[in-house]
C-alpha cells in the first residue's frame, strides 16, 4: 500500500509533467550531414541539410550558425585573442598550413536559390539571410556545402595529431539559440557551445585504417567500395563528438543502468577490478541522478585530460599518492558525470554552467563520503614520516574544495558563480568556481538535509532534460523541497562574490547554558553551523541565521570544552583561523606556537611559524646560508612577516633581511588593494663595506572590473633610509663615502597592461632627498605583429629638479645604474670590471654598450630610446639613442646597436654590441668583456612566469 509520501511524490511528478506539456509541442530542428574525410590533407568535405523550425513568436529574416571550426583561421578570432590573454603564442605564430578553417562553397534555400551569408567579426559565427521571413511555428530548409581544414591539435585537443589520430568536437555548423534574441558565443576553448537541440544524422566516410568512436549512436551501413562509412544518429542532442584513431582502444562496458564506451584506464589496476569499479560508479550515478536517456555514455581519456582531477594526483605516475582503485574511480566518475550532464542538461553553458558543475562535484563529494570517508588529501603521502605532521597531511580529500576556492578568494580574484564562463580567470573557470559550486550544494544539503537536495537533483534531472532549462527551474525545485528560507543560496552564494566569514567573539558558560556571541565579519547573511566538542568528539550542533553584524545566542550546556564554527568545513568560509573558542578558561584559549618546516596549510588551532634553509649569493658575501622564518601559509593572509638572518662566510658576519607586510583588499575593481610594509636588509656592497636599508612604504593598486584583463595601476610611496659603512682602504674609491648615510622619499605611479601580443607600461617617478630632487618618466611598448615580428620600444626621460651632490652616485646612468636605493638584483653591484660588471639591468638609460666615462652619467638631464625587433624567433637587432646633458657641458648625442638573444624576455637575455660611439665594438679587443646579460634568479619572479596563465 502506497504511503502518503509516495502519493505526494506522484502528484508532484504529474504536476511537473503537465507544466512541461505546453513546451513539448515545439518543432524539432534537424540536421543531415554527408562528410568525407581526406586524412592525407586533414580535410573534410561536408554537405549539410538543415530543417530549421522557428519556435519563437517572431518572424525571422536571418539565422545564425556556429562555425567553431573556423576559430583557428586567423590571429584575430576570439579564440586567438583568448590565447593572447592567457600568454599563449602558438595560434598567433602559426603558419597558414597550421591553421584550421571553414570554406563555404554554397548556401541555398529550400527552393534551391542562393542565400546571402557573411561572417561576424568574431570569425566563427555565420549569418545567413533568408530570401523571405520565416513565420512563427514555420520551418525552412537550408543546404550548405563547405570544406573544413582541420588544425593540428597543439592549440586545443580538436584536430589531428602527428600519429594520424583525429578528434572532431563542435566541428560542423549548428544553429545558434534564439529566444527573442540571438545568443552568439564564439569558441574560446571553454567547452561551452550553445546551440539548439536537434535530431542529427551524419554519414561519414573515413579511411580504412582508422577506428571510429562517437557519443552518437552508430548505425550499421553498407560497406563502401573503399574506406569505411559510419552512420551516426543523435536524437535530442547538441553536437556529435567523433574520435578517429589508429588503434582501437575503446571498450564497451554494460551495466544494468547504463553502457560506457571508454578508453580510460589505470596502469597496474586489474581489468576485472576496473569493470567492478565501473559498475559501482554506474549504480551510484543512477542512484543520484536517475535514468540516462541515451544508449551509451562516452568516457574518453581525452575528455578527462581537458578537465582532470587537479591537485597532487597530477604528479608523475611514480609518485602518485593514491591507491589505484581510488585514483581510477575518481577519474572515471568525474569524466562520466561531465559527459552525462553535457549530453542531457541543456542549460546555457556560458552563463549557467555552474549548475552542471554543482551537480557533478556534489555527487563526487557524496561518493567520497560514502566509499572513502577516511581518504586524505595527500593520500599515502600523509603516512610518511616527516610529512604526516603537516596540517596539509591531516586534511581530508574533500577539504580540497574549500581550500582551492580560497586560493583565489584570498587573492581577491574570486568571482560569482553566475559570472559568464568567458569572463572568468582561468583558475576560476577550470577549478575554483566548479569546486565552490559543488561545495555550495553540500553546504545547502547540510543546512536543509541531504535527502532533500538529493531528491531535488533527481527531480531536476528527470524533468528538465531539454534545451530551454534555466537556473530558475533548478531554484524552484530546491525551494519546494524545504520549508526553510534558501533565497540566500541564490541571491548571495550564487549571484555575488560576497565572502562568508564568521567568528566566535565570546562565549560564557553558566551552570546549565552557554551564551555565545557570533560576529559576521563580512556581512554576508547566510546560515552558519556551530559544533560543540568534548574531547574532540561532537556532542552538539546548531545552525544560526540572520546575523547582520553580531548576535548572542543561548544554547544548552552539554559539557562542551570547545565550540567550533563550520567544523565539517562544508561552508567555503574565507577565514577559519578564528572559528573556535575554548571553554576551559583564558589561558586555554591562547594558541600555541608551532614551528613547521617549509610551508603548510592553515591550522586554526596554532600560531604557525615556518622555517626553511636557503642560500643567497653575491660576490662580496659569497654563498650565504639563510634560515628563513615566516608565517605565510599556502593560502594568502593579510599580515605576513619574513625574517631571514644569514651568515656571510666571506665577510664572517651576519647579514640578512626582515619584512613585515599588511595587505588589505578593498574592492574587486578601481582601488582594489592597499599594502603597508616595513622592510629592512643588510648586506655588503663591496669588500668589508656594508649597507643597511630601512624602508617603510605604502602601495595602492587599481584594476578594471574585467578580471581577465592584465591591466594594473599602482601608486607607491616609500621612504628609503640607507646606512653605509666603508672599508677604510676604499675611502678614495667609494662613491660619496664622505656622506655614507642618506634618506630618499620616493613616489612612483605605474600603469601596466601585460599582454603577450601588446605590452604597454609607463611610469612617473619622483625622488626627494636632502641634496637633490629628480623626476623621471619611462614608457615601454611591445608589439607582436601578424608577420610574427616583435617590436620593442622603451623611452626614458629624467631631469634633476635640484642637485647639490658632488659625485655621480645619485646621477642618472646611461648603461648601469648605481642603484643607490638598492632595488635591483645585482650580483656584484660595485664591480667596474669582470663578468659581474656586465650584468645588465634595463633601467634609466638602458644602454648596452659601455661608453666613454664622461657620458655614462648625467647630473642634469637624460633622454634615451631603446628599440629592438626580431630577425628570427629569439634573435633580435637592438639600437639605443639618447641625449646626455651634464651641468656646465653641452648635451651629447649617444648611440649603440647590436644583437639581442631574447631567450626569455626579462628573465634570460644576452646582448652582443656591434657599433656605438666607441666605433665597431665587434672588431675591438677583449670583445667578451663587452657582452651584457640579463639573468633572474629570484624564485618568486620565476614562479610568476609559470602561473600568469592561471591568475
Per-residue model confidence as pLDDT tens digits over 482-533: 999 999 999 999 999 999 999 999 999 888 899 999 999 999 999 999 999 9
pLDDT confidence tier of residue 789, bands split at 50, 70 and 90: confident
Summarize the confidence of residues 332-356 as an average pLDDT.
95
Rg (CA), the chain: 33
What confidence score (pLDDT) does residue 749 get?
A: 98
Q: Are 568 and 446 in contact (CB under 8 A)?
A: yes
Least confident range from 225-234, 270-279, 314-323, 521-530: namely 314-323
pLDDT confidence tier of residue 942, bands split at 50, 70 and 90: low
Characterize 629-648 residue by residue with b for buried, 16 or more Cβ atoms within 10 angstroms of its Cβ, and e for exposed.
ebebbebbeeebebbbbbeb
Mean pLDDT, the chain, rounded, equals: 91
Handedness of CA 192, 196, 199, 205 (dihedral sign): negative
What confidence score (pLDDT) does residue 314 get?
A: 67
For residue 571, give the DSSP letter.
Answer: S
Q: Tens of pLDDT along 651-689?
A: 999 999 999 999 999 999 999 999 999 999 999 988 888
Give CA 355 to chain center in angstroms: 20
Q: Does the structure show a pLDDT above 70 at 261?
A: yes
What confidence score (pLDDT) does residue 630 get?
A: 96
What confidence score (pLDDT) does residue 616 get?
A: 87
Neighbouring CB atoms inside 10 A of 267's CB total: 9
pLDDT confidence tier of residue 731, bands split at 50, 70 and 90: low
Q: Are 266 and 331 in contact (CB under 8 A)?
A: yes
Q: Tens of pLDDT along 885-895?
A: 999 999 999 99
In sequence order, what E strands does 804-874 have? 812-813, 857-858, 861-872
Q: Does the structure show a pLDDT above 70 at 7?
A: no
Q: Does the structure show a pLDDT above 70 at 946?
A: no
Residues sharing a CB contact under 8 Å with residue 285, sequence separation 6 or more, in sequence order: 257, 258, 292, 333, 336, 337, 340, 363
What confidence score (pLDDT) does residue 830 get?
A: 84
Task: Determine phi and psi for 361, rounding to 5 degrees.
Answer: -75, -30
pLDDT confidence tier of residue 854, bands split at 50, 70 and 90: confident
Q: Tens of pLDDT along 432-469?
A: 999 999 999 999 999 999 999 999 999 999 999 866 78
Q: Tens of pLDDT along 892-927?
A: 999 999 999 988 877 889 999 999 999 999 999 999
Of 454, 452, 444, nearest to 290 (Cα)?
A: 454
Characterize 170-201 residue by residue with b for buried, 16 or more Cβ atoms within 10 angstroms of its Cβ, and e for exposed.
bbbbbbbbbeeeeebbbbbbbbbbbbbbbebb
Give CA 801 to chain center in angstroms: 45
What confidence score (pLDDT) does residue 20 get?
A: 39
Q: Does the structure show a pLDDT above 90 at 79?
A: yes
Q: How far apart are CA 922 and CA 896, in angstroms?
A: 12
**148, 154, 158, 161 alpha-carbon torsion, rounded to 10°:** 80
Q: Does the structure show a pLDDT above 70 at 270?
A: yes
SS3 532: strand
What confidence score (pLDDT) does residue 949 get?
A: 62
Residues sharing a CB contact under 8 Å with residue 785, sequence separation 6 or more, in sequence order: 791
Of 905, 722, 638, nearest to 89 (Cα)?
A: 905
Q: Does the structure show a pLDDT above 60 at 737?
A: no
What confidence score (pLDDT) does residue 16 get?
A: 42
Classify the phi-psi angles of 87: left when phi > 0, otherwise alpha if psi is within -120 to 50, otherwise beta.
left
SS3 16: helix
What confidence score (pLDDT) does residue 589 get?
A: 62
Task: Determine phi and psi for 389, rounding to 5 degrees.
Answer: -80, -15
What H or E segment, with its residue span, contains residue 82? helix 78-85
Q: How far apart are CA 285 and CA 292, in angstroms?
A: 9
Residues sharing a CB contact under 8 Å with residue 70, sequence separation 6 or more, in sequence order: 77, 100, 101, 102, 119, 123, 124
Q: Tens of pLDDT along 122-177?
A: 899 999 999 999 999 999 999 999 999 999 999 999 999 999 999 999 999 999 99
Of 864, 878, 936, nearest to 911 (Cα)?
A: 878
Report the DSSP beta bridge partners of residue 919: 916
Q: How far apart are CA 904 and CA 922, in angstroms?
A: 24
Q: How far apart are CA 691 and CA 684, in angstroms?
A: 6
What confidence score (pLDDT) does residue 13 get?
A: 44
What confidence score (pLDDT) does residue 254 get?
A: 96
Residues sharing a CB contact under 8 Å with residue 157, sequence separation 6 or more, in sequence order: 167, 169, 302, 305, 306
Of 100, 95, 104, 130, nearest to 48 (Cα)?
A: 104
**What is the model's pTM?**
0.90
pLDDT confidence tier of residue 10, bands split at 50, 70 and 90: very low
What confidence score (pLDDT) does residue 312 get?
A: 67
Q: Does the structure show a pLDDT above 60 at 590?
A: yes
Q: How far apart are CA 303 and CA 849, in angstroms?
A: 53
Q: Are 687 and 830 in contact (CB under 8 A)?
A: no
Q: Does the structure show a pLDDT above 60 at 193?
A: yes
Q: Tens of pLDDT along 596-629?
A: 998 999 988 889 999 999 988 888 998 899 999 9
Give CA 842 to chain center in angstroms: 30
Amino acid at each position: 500500500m502506497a504511503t502518503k509520501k509516495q502519493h505526494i511524490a506522484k502528484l508532484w511528478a504529474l504536476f511537473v509533467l503537465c507544466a512541461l506539456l505546453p513546451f513539448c509541442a515545439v518543432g524539432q530542428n534537424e540536421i543531415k550531414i554527408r562528410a568525407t574525410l581526406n586524412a592525407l590533407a586533414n580535410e573534410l568535405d561536408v554537405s549539410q541539410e538543415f530543417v530549421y523550425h522557428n519556435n519563437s513568436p517572431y518572424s525571422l529574416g536571418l539565422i545564425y550558425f556556429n562555425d567553431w571550426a573556423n576559430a583557428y583561421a586567423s590571429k584575430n578570432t576570439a579564440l586567438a585573442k583568448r590565447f593572447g590573454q592567457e600568454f599563449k603564442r602558438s595560434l598567433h605564430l602559426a603558419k597558414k598550413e597550421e591553421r584550421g578553417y571553414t570554406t563555404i562553397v554554397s548556401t541555398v534555400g529550400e527552393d534551391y536559390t542562393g542565400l546571402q551569408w557573411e561572417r561576424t567579426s568574431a570569425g566563427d559565427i555565420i549569418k545567413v539571410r533568408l530570401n523571405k521571413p520565416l513565420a512563427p511555428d514555420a520551418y525552412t530548409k537550408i543546404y550548405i556545402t563547405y570544406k573544413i581544414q582541420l588544425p593540428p591539435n597543439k592549440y586545443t585537443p580538436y584536430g589531428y595529431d602527428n600519429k594520424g589520430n583525429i578528434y572532431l568536437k563542435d566541428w560542423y555548423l549548428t544553429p545558434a539559440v534564439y529566444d527573442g534574441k540571438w545568443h552568439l558565443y564564439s569558441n574560446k576553448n571553454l567547452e561551452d557551445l550553445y546551440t539548439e537541440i536537434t535530431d542529427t544524422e551524419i554519414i561519414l566516410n573515413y579511411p580504412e585504417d582508422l577506428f571510429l568512436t562517437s557519443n552518437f549512436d552508430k548505425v550499421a551501413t553498407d560497406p563502401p567500395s573503399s574506406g569505411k562509412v559510419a552512420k551516426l544518429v543523435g536524437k535530442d542532442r547538441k553536437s556529435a563528438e567523433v574520435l578517429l584513431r589508429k588503434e582501437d582502444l575503446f571498450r564497451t562496458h554494460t551495466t544494468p543502468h547504463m553502457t560506457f564506451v571508454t578508453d580510460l584506464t589505470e596502469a597496474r589496476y586489474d581489468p576485472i577490478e576496473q569493470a567492478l569499479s565501473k559498475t559501482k560508479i554506474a549504480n551510484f550515478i543512477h542512484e543520484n541522478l536517475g535514468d540516462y536517456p541515451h544508449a551509451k555514455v562516452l568516457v574518453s581519456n581525452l575528455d578527462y585530460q581537458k578537465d582532470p582531477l587537479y591537485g597532487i594526483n597530477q604528479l608523475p605516475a611514480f609518485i602518485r599518492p593514491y591507491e589505484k582503485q581510488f585514483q581510477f574511480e575518481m577519474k572515471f566518475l568525474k569524466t562520466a558525470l561531465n559527459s552525462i550532464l553535457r549530453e542531457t542538461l541543456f542549460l546555457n553553458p556560458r552563463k549557467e554552467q555552474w549548475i552542471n558543475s554543482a551537480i557533478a562535484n556534489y555527487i563526487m563529494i557524496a561518493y567520497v563520503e560514502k566509499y572513502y570517508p577516511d581518504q586524505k588529501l595527500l593520500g599515502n603521502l600523509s603516512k610518511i614520516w616527516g610529512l604526516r605532521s603537516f596540517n596539509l597531511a591531516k586534511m581530508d580529500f574533500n577539504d580540497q574544495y574549500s581550500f582551492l576556492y580560497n586560493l583565489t578568494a584570498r587573492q581577491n580574484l574570486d568571482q560569482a558563480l553566475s559570472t559568464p564562463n568567458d569572463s572568468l580567470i582561468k583558475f576560476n573557470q577550470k577549478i575554483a568556481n566548479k569546486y565552490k559550486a559543488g561545495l555550495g550544494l553540500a553546504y545547502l544539503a547540510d543546512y536543509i538535509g541531504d535527502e532533500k537536495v538529493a531528491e531535488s537533483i533527481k527531480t531536476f534531472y528527470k524533468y528538465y532534460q531539454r534545451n530551454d532549462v534555466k537556473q530558475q527551474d533548478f531554484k524552484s525545485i530546491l525551494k519546494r523541497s524545504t520549508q526553510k528560507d534558501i533565497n540566500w543560496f541564490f541571491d548571495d552564494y550564487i549571484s555575488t562574490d560576497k565572502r562568508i566569514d564568521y567568528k566566535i567573539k565570546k562565549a560564557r558558560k553558566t551552570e546549565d547554558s552557554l551564551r555565545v556571541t557570533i560576529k559576521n565579519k563580512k556581512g554576508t547573511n547566510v546560515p552558519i553551523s556551530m559544533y560543540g566538542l568534548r574531547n574532540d568528539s561532537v556532542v552538539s550542533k546548531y545552525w544560526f541565521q540572520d546575523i547582520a553584524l553580531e548576535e548572542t545566542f543561548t544554547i544548552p550546556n552539554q559539557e562542551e570544552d570547545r565550540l567550533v564554527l563550520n567544523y565539517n568545513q562544508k561552508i567555503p568560509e574565507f577565514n577559519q583561523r578564528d572559528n573556535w573558542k575554548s571553554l576551559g578558561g583564558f589561558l586555554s584559549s591562547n594558541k600555541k606556537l608551532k614551528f613547521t618546516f617549509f610551508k603548510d596549510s592553515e591550522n586554526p588551532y596554532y600560531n604557525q611559524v615556518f622555517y626553511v634553509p636557503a642560500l643567497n649569493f653575491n660576490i662580496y658575501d659569497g654563498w650565504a646560508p639563510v634560515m628563513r622564518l615566516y608565517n605565510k601559509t599556502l593560502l594568502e593572509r593579510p599580515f605576513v612577516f619574513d625574517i631571514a638572518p644569514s651568515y656571510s662566510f666571506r665577510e664572517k658576519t651576519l647579514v640578512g633581511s626582515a619584512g613585515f607586510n599588511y595587505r588589505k583588499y578593498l574592492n574587486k575593481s578601481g582601488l582594489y588593494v592597499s599594502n603597508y610594509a616595513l622592510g629592512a636588509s643588510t648586506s655588503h656592497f663591496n669588500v668589508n663595506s656594508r649597507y643597511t636599508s630601512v624602508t617603510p612604504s605604502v602601495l595602492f593598486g587599481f584594476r578594471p572590473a574585467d578580471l581577465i584583463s592584465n591591466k594594473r595601476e599602482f601608486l607607491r610611496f616609500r621612504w628609503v633610509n640607507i646606512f653605509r659603512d666603508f672599508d677604510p682602504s676604499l675611502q678614495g674609491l667609494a662613491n660619496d663615502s664622505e656622506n655614507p648615510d642618506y634618506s630618499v622619499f620616493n613616489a612612483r605611479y605605474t600603469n601596466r597592461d601585460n599582454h603577450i601580443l601588446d605590452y604597454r607600461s609607463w611610469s612617473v617617478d619622483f625622488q626627494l632627498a636632502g641634496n637633490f630632487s629628480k623626476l623621471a618618466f619611462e614608457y615601454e611598448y611591445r608589439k607582436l605583429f601578424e608577420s610574427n615580428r616583435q617590436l620593442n620600444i622603451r623611452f626614458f626621460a629624467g631631469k634633476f629638479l635640484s642637485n647639490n651632490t658632488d659625485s655621480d652616485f645619485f646621477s642618472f646612468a646611461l648603461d648601469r645604474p648605481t642603484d643607490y636605493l638598492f632595488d635591483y638584483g645585482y650580483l656584484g653591484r660595485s664591480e667596474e670590471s669582470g663578468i659581474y660588471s656586465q650584468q645588465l639591468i634595463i633601467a634609466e638609460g638602458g644602454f648596452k654598450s659601455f661608453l666613454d666615462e664622461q657620458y655614462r652619467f648625467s647630473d642634469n638631464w637624460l633622454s634615451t630610446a631603446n628599440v629592438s625587433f626580431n630577425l628570427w624567433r629569439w634573435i633580435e637587432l637592438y639600437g639605443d639613442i639618447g641625449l646626455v646633458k651634464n651641468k656646465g657641458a653641452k648635451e651629447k648625442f649617444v648611440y649603440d646597436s647590436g644583437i639581442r638573444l631574447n631567450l626569455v624576455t626579462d628573465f634570460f637575455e644576452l646582448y652582443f654590441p656591434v657599433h656605438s660611439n666607441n666605433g665597431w665594438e665587434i672588431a675591438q679587443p677583449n670583445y667578451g668583456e663587452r657582452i651584457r646579460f640579463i639573468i633572474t634568479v629570484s624564485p618568486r619572479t620565476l614562479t610568476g612566469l609559470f602561473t600568469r596563465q592561471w591568475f
